[in-house]
Amino acid sequence: MTHVLSLLVVIPLAGLIPLFLFRRDERAVKQVAITTTAVELAVSLWMLSQFHVGEAGFQLTERVDWLPSLGITYFLGVDGISVLLVPMTTLLTFISVLYSSGGAIKTRVTEFMASFLLLEIGMVGVFIALDLFLFYVFFELMLLPMYLIIGVWGGPRRIYSTLKFVLFTLAGSLLMLVGIVAVYLASADASGARTLSLPDLIEARGRFSADFQFWVFLAFALAFAIKMPMVPFHTWLPDAHVEAPTAGSVVLAGVLLKAGGYGFLRFALPLFPFGVQAWLPLLILLSVVAIVYGAIVSAVQKDLKKLVAYSSVAHMGFVTLGIFVLNLQGGVGAVLQMLNHGFVTGALFLFVGIQYEKTHRRQIADLGGLANMWPLYTTFFGVFVLASLGLPGLNGFVGEFLVLLGTFRFSGVPLGGLFWGPLAATGVILAAVYLLWMFQRVMYGPVREAYKLLPDMTPLEVACAVPLLAMTVILGVAPQPFISIIEPSLDQVVRLATDPSFTVLAAR
Q: Which of 167-181, 283-297, 318-332, 411-425 has the lowest mean pLDDT?
A: 411-425
Q: Is the C-alpha dihedral spanning 472, 477, 481, 486 positive or negative?
A: positive
508 falls in which pLDDT band (50, 70, 90)? Answer: very low
In the chain, the amino acid numbered 276 is V
Average pLDDT, the chain: 91
Taking the C-alpha atoms of residue 328 and residue 335, their distance in angstroms, rounded to an integer, is 11
pTM, two decimals, is: 0.94
Q: How many helices (H) and strands (E) does the chain have?
A: 21, 2
How many C-alpha atoms does 457 have within 13 Å on its Cβ side?
22
| Rounded percentage of the chain residues whose pLDDT exceeds 90 | 69
Residues in a beta bridge with 75: 63
Query: What is the pLDDT, as a whole number, of residue 505?
Result: 56
pLDDT tens per residue across span 39-76 = 999 999 999 999 999 888 899 999 999 888 888 999 99
Instruction: Please give the torsion angle defined by the CA atoms of residues 277, 282, 288 and 294, in that order, rounded to the nearest 10 degrees.
Output: -130
Q: Which of 1-5, 198-202, 481-485 has the lowest mean pLDDT?
A: 1-5
Query: What is the pLDDT, as a whole number, of residue 366?
Result: 87
Q: Backbone dihedral region of 103: left (phi > 0), alpha (psi from -120 to 50 degrees) or beta?
A: left
Residues 322, 406 contacting (CB under 8 angstroms): yes
Q: In this model, does residue 504 exceed pLDDT 70?
A: no
414 falls in which pLDDT band (50, 70, 90)? Answer: confident
Query: What is the pLDDT, as a whole number, of residue 83?
Result: 95
Question: Omega into 232 within 30° of 0, i.e. cis?
Answer: yes
pLDDT tens per residue across span 307-330 = 999 999 999 999 999 999 999 999
Query: What is the pLDDT, as a whole number, of residue 506?
Result: 47
Query: What is the pLDDT, as a whole number, of residue 317?
Result: 93
Taking the C-alpha atoms of residue 315 and residue 293, their distance in angstroms, rounded to an integer, is 11
Q: In this model, does residue 126 exceed pLDDT 90?
A: yes
Query: What is the pLDDT, as a whole number, of residue 503?
Result: 60
Radius of gyration of the chain (CA): 22
Q: In this model, does residue 507 exceed pLDDT 60?
A: no
* H or E element in which residue 209 lies: none
Query: What is the pLDDT, as a whole number, of residue 124?
Result: 96
Alpha carbon of residue 80 to chain centroid: 16
241 falls in which pLDDT band (50, 70, 90)? Answer: confident
Q: In this model, does residue 450 exceed pLDDT 80?
A: no
Query: What is the pLDDT, as a whole number, of residue 344?
Result: 95
Closest CA to 87 of 391, 324, 315, 342: 342
- The number of residues making up the chain comes to 508
Helix, strand or coil, per DSSP, at residue 504: coil
* H or E element in which residue 507 lies: none
Query: What is the pLDDT, as a whole number, of residue 453?
Result: 82
| Rounded percentage of the chain residues whose pLDDT exceeds 70 | 98
Q: Which of 81-90, 385-394, 452-461, 479-488 has the lowest mean pLDDT?
A: 452-461
